[in-house]
Amino acid sequence: MNEKRSLPPNFFWLDGAVAGSGHPGWAPVVLRETLAALKQEGIGTIVSLAPLDEKAVADAGIGHHALDVPDMGVPDASALGAAIDRVREALARGEKILVHCGAGYGRTGTFLACLLVGRGVAPEDAIRMVREKRPGAIETRAQEEFVRAWSARKPAAVKKKRG
């Protein structure tokens, strides 16, 4: 049996507890191997912005939250708020989180930038920080504008000035 474990395509750590990536695996055998590698990496919850086999994730002992976001699109603001709340709860339990979409650029980058904005990072800084970790992230003008609008939606959380 091959014991080699591989992480999903375009896997990157935003910080020590939150990671982003492309899809963990479309084929069942690849998905099982990738989920095992993610578990070894310490991932406790996956946020899926593209379809993922929920049973396979549960069988791997990893929590899961699905948020339907069209490719190159932006999430529904209330659904994003609920997903970010789930991420905060998981982080408070000491879990590591993976956020993924198809390739790990647009939808993943948008989600991660909004997560940073919710932590008090200015939107332009959040976009820059995500792009430093994943060049090419946050692919469309609509996604950039969504991150900026997210900061306006969460005014109490955004106190830090750009710097």
Please indicate whether residue 114 is annotated as part of the active site.
no
Calpha distance 127→110 (Å, rounded): 8
Calpha distance 147→121 (Å, rounded): 11
Catalytic hit among 101, 112, 117, 147? 101
- Buried/exposed code over 136-152 (b: 16+ C-beta within 10 A; e: otherwise): ebbbeeebbebbeebbe
For residue 142, what are the contacts with CB-CB under 8 A and spacing of at least 6? 73, 74
Give catalytic residues, as residue numbers.
101
